[in-house]
Structure 1
């Protein structure tokens, strides 16, 4: 996920590149960052690999369960499916960045553009689908009658298509400006802007689309949902309130520090903040907050599934029916009979309760 001029691909490429050396107009010598580079060469690849493995496993499991049991029959299913795809796009780029940090960019100019673009698309689309799911829950709980007409698979598919188009369009600066460049005997994938205006545009775009707009939408939706649910004494509704707070807290705790850091990095880029020691401290902070933010894509399956009632049932059925599980159980003498639950038993709740929990 990417953010502020020079964040992720844009920023990620620039930040990784800047770990080697920076120049300041008011300084007679360049700012050497060997200690920062040594720290990043083991810290970032380690955590990138962890996020890649967890994100790949968790979101792949989400897709398998959706296909096998949910069959994409509701608007929420459509959004969950696309959110998992967004997270997979995001983690797909991490092995490339991991190798870049550990050594240098060896994949050429073409892959630099494509990986940066895919990476940014995964970021934007993931944020947008989280917003759509917030709106979906808001309609299901607060406007139940209207939701019966509006929350259909057709509208969910149309909204998802619009989100992908917007994410692709918003990510085009990565495709245009990302380049493989060599300096100080080191090759990097970074964004080369033609003007300060473009750098400012990318910075504002990232912070508005990636933080401000999601914050406003989620705050409104979940505030209204909580107000509605607080009048109910239903135990299931209380669980919905807990999940709602988990969604909000996890999203903002994991992302806000990184966005603030990238805004500070932009101030360094344009010369508002300067100094070698400040730049080094921001590089360290960037690596820590970036890792924290990236873990969010691993938590989406936990937030949207494992805290729900039905996914626990689906996941048990999935592993019980897994061919590998059956083969492993044969030597143990365990019966292969699977006590699957009928689909009708999953439809006993109202639409609003089912999608809100």
Structure 2
């Protein structure tokens, strides 16, 4: 197996510092982790999409946003096997796919952020001003919301497609250090904006819910709150780590002795792998909370599983009857 440098941190590597053991750890654990997340993410999000399309009212803005979140997670999940291949063999899949895979990564992150911001703001309005016209909007407005989510996400992620390049050495990323720093700070900025919106809205929602008058739709609020917490817990360590990595390029860092730089770099490499595991796992965790938090999702999932089991049992019975018929010389069509 060829040893490659880790994704997104190639430009942090200092040839004077020996981080081979940590990189080997990442190259072994990361493909295995991505494989597990891919399987769980595909199953969970496909089931979520089936349930939403088959049983739920998609004219509801909340259901529409959950549908878009499942699509976002599904797109992000589908890219993980390619990242696993990159870890194992370096980039061997051509420049076009390199551009697409970077685009998909940022499309998944930005769309997830935008969707959760809209879900939080919408629920904030529903609790603070339940008689507002925004709360009662359905139908065509759900389509508009979906278009806004994906247009904004595509525009935000499109530079990643334009500026990603490949090298014969097996590298897929940005050729200039400034672009690497730009994308790190851009991602940090979007995460900070999302966090501020979450803190502001949920602090006000919590204050309102603690008042004597009970609020309706607390289960929906609980689901959205959990999704936001999963997003924050997953992406916060990753964003802190990549921000801390960029400080190596600040002017004062030139005064730090090499031994300190190497020790810090080793810790950052390890933190990068672990925090990325948390960040990338969000795409398979969201469907789990759809089921555990909402009774309707749990009920619909049971219906799907029962129908699937019944269909399998009918097929088995028909298969056994066919075998009996063939061995006894009878014709079932008669």
TM-score normalised by the chain length of structure 2: 0.82
Shift of 1:309: 2.0
Residue-by-residue CA offset, 1:198-229 (whole Å, 9 max, x unaligned)? 444323321111x1111111122222222222
CA distance in structure 2 between the aligned counterparts of 1:233 and 1:240, rounded to whole angstroms: 18
1:266 aligns with 2:246: yes
> How big is the alpha-carbon RMSD for the aligned residues of Structure 1 and Structure 2?
2.8
Secondary structure at the residue paired with 1:31? coil
Secondary structure at the residue paired with 2:98? helix
Shift of 1:240: 5.9
Q: 197, 213, 222: which is aligned to 2:193? A: 213
Shift of 1:86: 0.5
Secondary structure at the residue paired with 1:48? helix
1:73 aligns with 2:54: no
Residue-by-residue CA offset, 1:274-310 (whole Å, 9 max, x unaligned)? 6223222211110001001111121112234430121
1:283 aligns with 2:283: no
Shift of 1:168: 1.0
Which residue number corresponds to residue 182 of structure 1?
Answer: 168
CA distance in structure 2 between the aligned counterparts of 1:88 and 1:312, rounded to whole angstroms: 20
Which residue number corresponds to residue 203 of structure 1?
Answer: 184
Which residue number corresponds to residue 345 of structure 1?
Answer: none
CA distance in structure 1 between the aligned counterparts of 2:44 and 2:97, rounded to whole angstroms: 26
In the alignment, structure 2 segments of 5+ residues that lack a partner are 318-334
Secondary structure at the residue paired with 1:107? coil
Which residue number corresponds to residue 311 of structure 2?
Answer: 326
Which residue number corresponds to residue 206 of structure 2?
Answer: 226
Which residue number corresponds to residue 5 of structure 1?
Answer: none
Give the number of the structure whose alpha-carbon radius of gyration is greater: 2
Q: 76, 79, 104: which is aligned to 1:93? A: 79
Which residue number corresponds to residue 166 of structure 1?
Answer: 152
CA distance in structure 1 between the aligned counterparts of 2:225 and 2:57, rounded to whole angstroms: 28
Which residue number corresponds to residue 43 of structure 1?
Answer: 29
Q: Which moved more, 1:124-133 or 1:250-259?
A: 250-259
Secondary structure at the residue paired with 1:13? coil
Contact 1:14 1:191 in 2 (8 A): no
CA distance in structure 1 between the aligned counterparts of 2:277 and 2:268, rounded to whole angstroms: 14
Which residue number corresponds to residue 27 of structure 1?
Answer: none
Contact 1:140 1:147 in 2 (8 A): no
Change over 3 Å in CA distance of 1:300–1:232 after alignment to 2: farther
Secondary structure at the residue paired with 1:278? helix
Paired residues for 1:15-164 under 5 Å: 15=9, 17=10, 21-23=13-15, 30-147=16-133, 150-164=136-150
Change over 3 Å in CA distance of 1:126–1:150 after alignment to 2: same
TM-score normalised by the chain length of structure 1: 0.78
CA distance in structure 1 between the aligned counterparts of 2:277 and 2:68, rounded to whole angstroms: 23
CA distance in structure 2 between the aligned counterparts of 1:65 and 1:132, rounded to whole angstroms: 22
Contact 2:73 2:283 in 1 (8 A): yes
More helix by share: 2
Contact 1:108 1:180 in 2 (8 A): yes
Which residue number corresponds to residue 325 of structure 2?
Answer: none
Change over 3 Å in CA distance of 1:302–1:142 after alignment to 2: farther
Shift of 1:317: 1.6
Contact 1:79 1:133 in 2 (8 A): yes
Contact 1:226 1:241 in 2 (8 A): no
Contact 2:95 2:166 in 1 (8 A): yes
- Report how many residues are paired: 308
Which residue number corresponds to residue 7 of structure 2?
Answer: 13
In the alignment, structure 1 segments of 5+ residues that lack a partner are 1-10, 24-29, 333-357
